[in-house]
Amino acid sequence: MAKPAVSSSSSSRVWFLSVAALIHMRTVLSFTSSSQCYTAIYSFGDSIADTGNLNYDTEDLSPSLYAVLNPPYGETFFHYPTGRFSDGRLIIDFLAEHIGVPLLKPYLGIKNGKIKDWNSLEGVNFAVGSATALDIGFFLDKGLYDVVVPTNYSLGVQFDWFLDLLPSICNSSSGCKEVLGRSLFLVGEIGGNDFNYLFQLGTTIEEARTYVPLVINKISWVINKLIDLGAQTLVVPGNFAIGCNFFYLKNFPSRDLEDYDGSGCLKAFNNFADYYNKQLLAELNRLQELHPDVNIIYADYYHASLQLYQSPSQFGFTKSILDSCCPLMNANNRNVAAKYCGEPGLITCDDPSQYISWDGVHLTEAAYKWITKDLLQGPFTNPKIRVSCGSDM
């Protein structure tokens, strides 16, 4: 489906309306944060934040996950595959660079003894590609495991990993509170896959809404546990504007033009993501009231990504939202079996920086860099992530 044309004036109006709505949504949160020099980052999540845990996974990976270990993944910055689901750096990488800590080492590499040069006091990454917020029991009860859920590295499992590693980070209750209090915790993005898998199996948006409280409750449970251990600053991202995502546009097309907005995004899926984010924000507000001395920062991935889709040329992207640098599947040649990005024989683009979408699901380094910059400098975190050391983006 061709993207409806949108004028620059129309795009500007959409942008300002989006910002106005965002500001209104954030009025429920009134707390502020002071500047701090963070010494470490501890990250939980899925493929949006995975810096290589799948490299050290001992389970049999599905073809779509195994392909991330092959070129052209990592080609832009690292020049080799690192297990990151992009051509280069992720939001977590840019955040680490900004704060001034080393890029996070993946926990599974540490656990398996494959990574030797690591310092737990500089942070660890527990995020794993394909991970869900809900434990595997939820999907087993619905008969979904082994159908679309490729791993069992849920948020609860990742938190257990953190507990296992905690003695290497600190050795007493008071010591942990001091060390963890100087650390930044990134809890997410997580939960997106829970709904991705449900939608792939034909779950309606109305039914998916009924699972939103379950996902948010799990995230809330982990936040509370981390605070109990001594975490003082937690960044909790919402979901992206999935209605603009290449994968959703290709897999859930509509013949009704009314189902698309002026940027060519699917309204229903964006509305669902917006609904989820508002419920998450409300829960974070409740947690903030329970823990007034802790900084719980909402990271608005939805609007930070939406602006790229609404006005791609303003951010240097020449390709539309219906283009992907390394397509998820090779749909241009019917005589070739469907391929995942990273499998041999799949032609990729020459310049990923011109694309928002990298592999049809995940974004390019260029897109993640813009999103991180606007999270740190723009209106997309509440309260601000204030860093008294580190570098500017």
Q: Of 47, 86, 130, 220, which is the active-site residue?
A: 47
CA distance 183 to 38: 5
Measured distance CA(52)–CA(85) in Å, rounded: 9
Is 388 annotated as catalytic? no
Give the list of residues 6+ apart from residue 37 with CB closer than 8 angstroms, or none. 100, 182, 387, 388, 389, 390
Residue 387 dihedral angles phi and psi, to the nearest 5°: -120, 125
**Distant-in-sequence, close-in-space partners of 11: CB < 8 Å, separation ≥ 6:** 262, 263, 310, 311
Read off the amino acid at residue 342: G
Catalytic residue among 220, 303, 362, 374: 362
Residue 56: Cβ within 10 Å count:
17
324 belongs to the catalytic site: no
Which residue's structure tokens are 């995020």?
127
Taking CA atoms, 245 is separated from 265, 273, 320, 322, in Å, by 8, 12, 11, 8
Tokens found for residue 62? 């599905």
Does residue 120 have an active-site annotation?
no
Structure token pair of residue 259 = 């189902």
Q: Looking at the annotation, which residues are catalytic?
A: 47, 359, 362
